[in-house]
Structure 1
Amino acid sequence: MSPGTGPGGALPRRLFARSLAGLGAAAGLAATAACAGPARAAGGGGGKVIRYQGSVGTVLPLELAAALGYLGDVRLDWIGNSISGPQDIQATVTGDTDIGGAFNGAIIRLIAAGAPITSLYGYYGIDSRIWSGFYVREDSPIRSVKQLAGRTIGANTIGGQTEDVLKLRLRQAGLPDDAAQLVVVPPVSAEASLRSGQLDVAVLGGTLRDLALSRGGIRPVFTDYQVLGTFTCGCDVMRDKFVRDHPDTVRTVVAGTARAVAWSQTQPRERVIAEFARIIAARGRQEDTSQLRFWLGYGIAERGAVIAEREFTVWRDRLVDEGIVGRHEAPVAQLYTNRFNPYASRGVT
């Protein structure tokens, strides 16, 4: 997710403070969640109101579902914008929100630390059109992955997809995981930091990547698509208690969002972009919509955002190999469920 602001231009204080800690505080967050009272753990309206964080200038699958009328009597309550996926699901773990989305590797880390959450559907991914690249300036001496050793690489967060993809690619090149230094840089600032020489490498994806490429002078060393292929990278999660207490609401949210994803996968691109523009204008947050013209899709691999096992095993296996996650911690079967998603059933279109 992109960095953003809450109502009135400021991220809620409690959420901003948690974003600074990153996933290093996962165990503490899990313990806090276990002690949270019922009022913190569930949204209002008898489970029919879903509190969530958005992202500046974009429309999440969940928001698209609401706009298309696919959520029935379930209402969304936007409490501000997330600055990263790990921060977003931390807010869900602690009960500040009812749903949040992040890179699957970050989800595994939190669940292994004891966080009572489950992944319900994919919400973003990569394919041949939608990917992020590790970019350098055109005149940079860096030409290969091996030459990333000792370099500074800007990413939007620690503990997210960029970090795990980088480590996976470094290992493939025969380098240690810590061969390069990853630093946190807001996505909207990454291009400028790269061009000014503050960074050796900047990770650029989506519309920000295309805007940067349109200005020229940069080139990729490698892309996450080259590493993973077509792949759903992140999921939306809910607390297990919310799922147990409000199964009908969860079914409505998952089925409606899955339907919205399928809609985006089958409609002409121009129609989807027009709907996004309408949604962003209607919510009145004074957002720049100029990036929408570069939108190519959510990148979700499966029809209707169904979760595939491999989308978790690749990251869990790596975390186990590194000793970050115990071999018996966070078994894949406990990381996600497709039971609320009608697109997981054979014959559903």
Structure 2
Amino acid sequence: MSTTTTASARRLLAGSAAAAALLGGLTACGAADATTADGKTVVRYQSAPGSVDPLQLADALGKLPGIQLKKVGDVQGGPESLRALASNQVDISASAFYGAIAQTVATGVPIKAVVSSYGTNAKTGAAIVAKKGSGLTKDPHSFIGKKVAVNTLGANAEAVLDTWFAKGGLTQAQIKKVTLVPLPPLNTAQALKNGQVDAAYVGVGQLKPIGEAVPIDTIVKDSDVVGYYNGGGLSLRTDWIKKEKKADKTLVAGVAYAIDYIESHDRADVLKIYDTWLTDNGYGDQVEAVDKNWNGSTGVSSKGGVIADKDISIWLDWLGTRGDVDPSKIKPSDVFTNEFNPNA
């Protein structure tokens, strides 16, 4: 774990703890916008540019009756989205890594993951890539002293990198010499091209556009390190869960439907519906990036994004080695619920 990543873990913990302390005083925030004149429940959310958002796709497919989505901005990573959820800036999180959700829950923040939204399977995943000539190889020791771009700190990319480094025989002292650099995914190609970073952890959908911008080598895939897995999902605050029983079921069922729709339809069919929704809702400027970067799959391996204990437990030991949580004091069932998923 690098010095950069240690600082990130502390920021995530501090941010989560502060959010927990503030949550009681903030739960009324936005209450005036809770319903529309025609009785729809307003759901505030954030999304990440450059990919198909399953919540937005659910709306595009007409699977969110009685719900009016209200976008309150874009988000770069799961930890940032979880802080927004805990402090009541949003009602449902964007996709967040299950390890980050577990860490947040362990600090006392009252949230629950409710549906898987991304992962790695035979269709899609992530990879560590390097600029040709960087000197980086499949031996993790070659990464010592190098800079690696990740979308955010304290999340999926960092967990896979740490796991790969450890499996490759790097000591903690050597891992500290690898610097992780948080960058928006859409900026990664330019950073590699300009030599600002030596390597990057990216979704496979980014491989083609990055390769068109700068010659790269694929060093290792995340599935080579940890196998196929559901990497993360959407979360709700427990107070919102208790208050909005009908909306809970609608949101989760809608996202579950969207996840299965993506996996059972051609990429072009999904984009036709999704791009139209983006344009009709004032986000037409995002269409080009989505069409260029999205690879056509969520990577979720379970029907309707149902969450399993293993989706959480795989990361608890990693969090324990970092000192972020005590694995003996948190169970996978503390982190998620399938209560609202019709596929459970």
Corresponding position of 1:136: 130
SS in structure 2 opposite 1:92?
helix
- The alpha-carbon deviation at position 328 of structure 1 amounts to 3.7
Corresponding position of 1:340: 340
Does the 8 A contact of 2:40 with 2:66 survive in 1?
A: no
Q: Which consecutive residues of structure 2, in runs of 5 or more, have no partner in the other structure?
A: 1-10
Q: TM-score, normalised by structure 1?
A: 0.87
SS in structure 1 opposite 2:45?
strand
**Whole-Å Cα distance in 1 between the matches of residues 310 and 40 of structure 2?**
32
Distance 1:336 1:221, change over 3 A: same
Distance 1:42 1:84, change over 3 A: farther
Does the 8 A contact of 2:256 with 2:305 survive in 1?
A: yes
| 1:122 is the counterpart of 2:116 | yes
SS in structure 1 opposite 2:276?
helix
Corresponding position of 1:221: 219
| 1:56 is the counterpart of 2:49 | yes
**Whole-Å Cα distance in 2 between the matches of residues 181 and 110 of structure 1?**
24
* Greater displacement, 208-217 / 271-280: 208-217
- The alpha-carbon deviation at position 107 of structure 1 amounts to 0.7
Q: Hey, which bits of structure 1, 4+ residues long, moved more than 4 A?
A: 21-24, 40-43
**Whole-Å Cα distance in 2 between the matches of residues 42 and 89 of structure 1?**
22
Distance 1:161 1:280, change over 3 A: same
Alignment size in residue pairs = 324
**Whole-Å Cα distance in 2 between the matches of residues 250 and 145 of structure 1?**
43
Corresponding position of 1:88: 81
**Whole-Å Cα distance in 1 between the matches of residues 21 and 257 of structure 2?**
35
- The alpha-carbon deviation at position 179 of structure 1 amounts to 4.1
**Whole-Å Cα distance in 2 between the matches of residues 306 and 127 of structure 1?**
15
Equivalent of 2:257, from 246, 253, 259? 259
| 1:33 is the counterpart of 2:5 | no
- The alpha-carbon deviation at position 245 of structure 1 amounts to 1.1
| 1:171 is the counterpart of 2:166 | yes
Corresponding position of 1:207: 205
Distance 1:268 1:33, change over 3 A: same
**Whole-Å Cα distance in 1 between the matches of residues 26 and 264 of structure 2?**
41
**Whole-Å Cα distance in 1 between the matches of residues 273 and 295 of structure 2?**
12
**Whole-Å Cα distance in 1 between the matches of residues 156 and 22 of structure 2?**
25
Corresponding position of 1:307: 307
Corresponding position of 1:147: 142
2:141 alignment partner AA: K
- The alpha-carbon deviation at position 225 of structure 1 amounts to 2.0
- The alpha-carbon deviation at position 41 of structure 1 amounts to 7.7
- The alpha-carbon deviation at position 81 of structure 1 amounts to 1.2
- The alpha-carbon deviation at position 321 of structure 1 amounts to 3.4
SS in structure 1 opposite 2:70?
strand
**Whole-Å Cα distance in 2 between the matches of residues 160 and 41 of structure 1?**
31
Distance 1:342 1:323, change over 3 A: same
| 1:71 is the counterpart of 2:64 | yes
Does the 8 A contact of 1:145 with 1:222 survive in 2?
A: no
Does the 8 A contact of 2:148 with 2:178 survive in 1?
A: yes
Distance 1:172 1:273, change over 3 A: same
- The alpha-carbon deviation at position 43 of structure 1 amounts to 5.9
User: Structure 1, residues 265-306: CA drift from partner, whole Å, max 9, x if none?
Assistant: 212332112112211221222424234255321111111111
- The alpha-carbon deviation at position 223 of structure 1 amounts to 1.8
**Whole-Å Cα distance in 2 between the matches of residues 43 and 262 of structure 1?**
31
Alignment of 1:222-237 (within 5 A): 222-237=220-235
Q: Which consecutive residues of structure 1, in runs of 5 or more, have no partner in the other structure?
A: 1-20, 345-349
Does the 8 A contact of 2:262 with 2:296 survive in 1?
A: no
Q: What is the RMSD computed on CA atoms of the aligned residues?
A: 2.0
SS in structure 2 opposite 1:340?
coil
* Greater displacement, 198-207 / 160-169: 198-207
1:292 alignment partner AA: D
**Whole-Å Cα distance in 2 between the matches of residues 267 and 116 of structure 1?**
36
Does the 8 A contact of 1:93 with 1:239 survive in 2?
A: yes
Q: TM-score, normalised by structure 2?
A: 0.88
**Whole-Å Cα distance in 2 between the matches of residues 319 and 147 of structure 1?**
25
**Whole-Å Cα distance in 2 between the matches of residues 260 and 202 of structure 1?**
29
**Whole-Å Cα distance in 1 between the matches of residues 161 and 283 of structure 2?**
34
Distance 1:28 1:310, change over 3 A: same
Distance 1:139 1:57, change over 3 A: closer
**Whole-Å Cα distance in 2 between the matches of residues 204 and 191 of structure 1?**
10
Corresponding position of 1:292: 291
**Whole-Å Cα distance in 1 between the matches of residues 34 and 204 of structure 2?**
34
1:125 alignment partner AA: G
